[in-house]
């Protein structure tokens, strides 16, 4: 084995053990990756913006900016990158996307949503004023079965009007959630009740449809999952992982968090993992998993006529894609948006980066 080969193997082993060690030891909440944690010359080079995503964007837009990083030595840069990886998965307050329990009212499954402000920790120590459902970003996961009668009571505790659209559902027109087209806006301090029969099955979303650039950007969004009546009508899987993608004032996020506060997913070797992507942002996000292919099975909840394999799948705004990953390869596998300015800068990884961890 050559020296380079040996070094490479040692490195990848260290990376693997390092991340697993972090997971095993519990969540490490300390240093964010570089930018805020170590205000070195590198941070100065970023300029006034100071945030990860802006650093990334600046880097992408002006390759000349890399000249500025000449002020940073290779070791300094590597240290920042290493600190980010070692902090992963970093502990932050708040976890969105957890299933919301329903109550029964007659034949209806009833869910309660409250739109309100929340201080949301998107990366360790980095808070912003988000607008969310029930105080979390993404809002709680609503899950029903195809054919269920669904009632969602939305209370607006924001200072401006809102409305909720169940994206992908064939709801009656009056329940479509678009102010002045199908309903009056839900004024501050008032409620609106949505009722519809859940169809079609698949991976869907709910989100604001009023002042949406701001309201959805700030977090008024969530997953709406409709299980099929007969699970055998869909490819089998062992575990599922919903990934809500967003880009907004708080940066580039997966399930409301930016790396290193994103959550990795752990699978046992051989398990089939269903990944449900949904893009609530403004931009295309090509999601790239290292090590194993993604088998695409559905788009916008509808099964594709012929499943196909890929390693990078572009999720456009509004789209949902379901893929199955057979966790055949052991290790910690990087998993990130491949618009590189959404994921990695001279300060290390940030934003839309997570990992699939395959264990024995």
Q: By the criterion CB under 5 A, which residues form the site for Cu ion?
A: 285, 337, 339, 342, 352
- CB-closest chain residue to Cu ion: 337
The neighbour count for residue 110, using CB atoms within 10 Å, is 16
Cβ proximity to Cu ion, 201 vs 261, nearer residue? 261
- Residues comprising the chain, all counted: 360
- Smallest distance from the beta carbon of 128 to Cu ion, in angstroms? 19
Cβ proximity to Cu ion, 205 vs 254, nearer residue? 254
Element (H, E) at 82: helix 74-87
For 93, the token pair is: 């307050």
Rounded (10°) angle between helices 3-24 and 74-87: 40
Cβ proximity to Cu ion, 52 vs 285, nearer residue? 285
Residue 90 makes CB contacts below 8 A (sequence gap 6+) with 27, 28, 29, 30, 32, 123, 124, 260, 261
Cβ proximity to Cu ion, 185 vs 281, nearer residue? 281
Q: Are 222 and 152 in contact (CB under 8 A)?
A: no
- Smallest distance from the beta carbon of 152 to Cu ion, in angstroms? 30
Cβ proximity to Cu ion, 72 vs 287, nearer residue? 287
Q: Are 320 and 205 in contact (CB under 8 A)?
A: yes
- Smallest distance from the beta carbon of 283 to Cu ion, in angstroms? 6
- Smallest distance from the beta carbon of 312 to Cu ion, in angstroms? 11
- Smallest distance from the beta carbon of 262 to Cu ion, in angstroms? 13
Cβ proximity to Cu ion, 202 vs 248, nearer residue? 248
- Smallest distance from the beta carbon of 195 to Cu ion, in angstroms? 36
3-class DSSP state for residue 34?
coil
Give the whole-angstrom CA distance, residue 273 versus residue 275: 6
Q: What is the CA radius of gyration of the chain?
A: 21
């Amino acid at each position: 084995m050559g020296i380079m080969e040996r070094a490479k193997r040692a490195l990848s082993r260290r990376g693997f053990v390092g991340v697993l060690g972090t997971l095993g030891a519990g969540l490490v909440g300390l240093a964010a990756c570089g930018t805020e944690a170590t205000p070195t010359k590198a941070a100065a080079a970023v300029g006034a913006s100071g945030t990860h995503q802006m650093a990334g964007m600046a880097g992408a837009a002006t390759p000349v900016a890399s000249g500025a990083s000449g002020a940073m030595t290779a070791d300094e840069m590597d240290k920042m990158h290493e600190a980010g990886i070692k902090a992963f998965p970093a502990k932050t307050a708040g976890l969105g996307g957890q299933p919301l329990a329903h109550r029964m009212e007659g034949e209806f499954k009833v869910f309660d949503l409250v739109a309100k402000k929340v201080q949301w920790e998107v990366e360790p120590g980095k808070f912003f004023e988000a607008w969310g459902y029930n105080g979390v970003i993404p809002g709680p996961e609503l899950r029903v079965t195809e054919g269920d009668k669904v009632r969602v009571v939305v209370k607006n505790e924001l200072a401006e009007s809102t409305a909720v659209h169940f994206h992908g559902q064939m709801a009656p027109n009056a329940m479509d959630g678009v102010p002045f087209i199908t309903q009056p806006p839900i004024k501050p301090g008032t409620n609106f009740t949505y009722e519809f029969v859940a169809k079609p099955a698949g991976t869907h979303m709910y989100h604001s449809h009023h002042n949406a650039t701001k309201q959805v950007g700030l977090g008024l969004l969530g997953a709406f999952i409709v299980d099929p009546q007969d699970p055998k009508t869909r490819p089998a899987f062992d575990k599922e992982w919903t990934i809500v993608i967003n880009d907004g004032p708080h940066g580039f996020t997966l399930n409301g968090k930016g790396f290193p506060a994103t959550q990795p997913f752990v699978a046992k070797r051989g398990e089939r993992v269903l990944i449900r992507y949904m893009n609530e942002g403004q931009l295309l996000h090509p999601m790239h998993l290292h090590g194993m292919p993604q088998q695409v099975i559905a788009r916008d909840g509808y099964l594709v006529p012929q499943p196909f394999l890929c390693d990078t799948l572009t999720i456009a705004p509004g789209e949902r894609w379901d893929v199955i990953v057979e966790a055949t390869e052991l290790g910690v596998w990087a998993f990130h948006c491949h618009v590189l300015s959404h994921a990695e800068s001279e300060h290390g990884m940030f934003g839309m980066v997570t990992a699939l961890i395959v264990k024995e």
